[in-house]
Amino acid sequence: MNGKKITILILALLAADQALKIWVKTHMALDEAIMVVPTWFQLRFVENSGAAFGMRLATSGAFDWGKLALSLFRLAMIGLLGVYLVRLVRRKAPAGVLAGLALILAGAIGNMIDSAFYGLLFSASTPAEVAHVGDGYAPLMMGRVVDMFYFPLFQWNGVPRWLSFLVDSRNYFFGAIFNLADAYISVAVVYLLIFQYKFFK
C-alpha cells in the first residue's frame, strides 16, 4: 500500500465522517432521535466537549482550559501518528498495519475538525432549534464534537457501581453515543491488537 492509496483512504474516511456529522448538526435538534432499527439502533444527536463516546469533560468558566489542553494534545498525537505512518509507508510495512493506522489517524482528525472549527462555523444546537451555518457559538478550538450512533441493547437495573460506566442514565447497557470517527479508532485498535500484534512486537 503506497502513500497515495493511504492518502485517498484517509480523505474518504474523513469525508464520510464529516458529511454525516454536518447532516446531523444541520437537520436534527439536540437530543433528537431517529429510530433506525426499533428498540436497539437510533441516530441520537448529542454533543460533547471533546472526549470520546459522548462523554463530557468537566468545564469551569467561559474559557475551557481543559478542552484546550485536550485539543493541543490531540494535535500533537495527530502529528506524531502522521510522521510515523509516513515512515511505515517508506519502509513498506504490511498493508493491514498501514490501513489500521490510517483509520486511527482519520478518526483523530475527524473529531479534531469538530472541536477546532464547528464552534466557528455553526450556530448552537438546542433541543428547540436546529443549528445553521453562521453565527458561531464558540471560538477556535472550543467547538463541540457531534455524536449520533446509539445502541441501547437492553436495560440493566441494579448494575454494580463499578460497572456503571457500561450503562447510560436510563440504565441501558452500552449507552455510549459515538460517531464514525470514534468507530474508526475503536475498530482499528482492536484489529491491530488481534491481527497485527506481531508487527508491533
Q: How far apart are the C-alpha atoms of 33 and 88, rounded to whole Å?
A: 42
**Residue matched to cell numbers 433541543:** 127
Contact 128, 158 (CB under 8 A): no
The catalytic residue among 17, 114, 147, 168 is 147
Distance CA 90, CA 83 (A): 11
Active-site entry in 64, 114, 168, 182 = 182
Q: Which three cell numbers stand for residue 25?
A: 448538526
**What's the full length of the chain, in residues?**
201
> Is 147 marked active-site?
yes
Known catalytic residue at 17: no
Contact between 13 and 22 under an 8 Å Cβ cutoff? The reply is no
Q: Which helix (H) or strand (E) holds 136?
A: none
- Residue whose entry in the numeric block shows the C-alpha cell 482519520: 106
* Cβ neighbourhood burial of 198 (10 Å; 0-12, 13-18, 19+): exposed
Residues identified as active-site:
147, 182
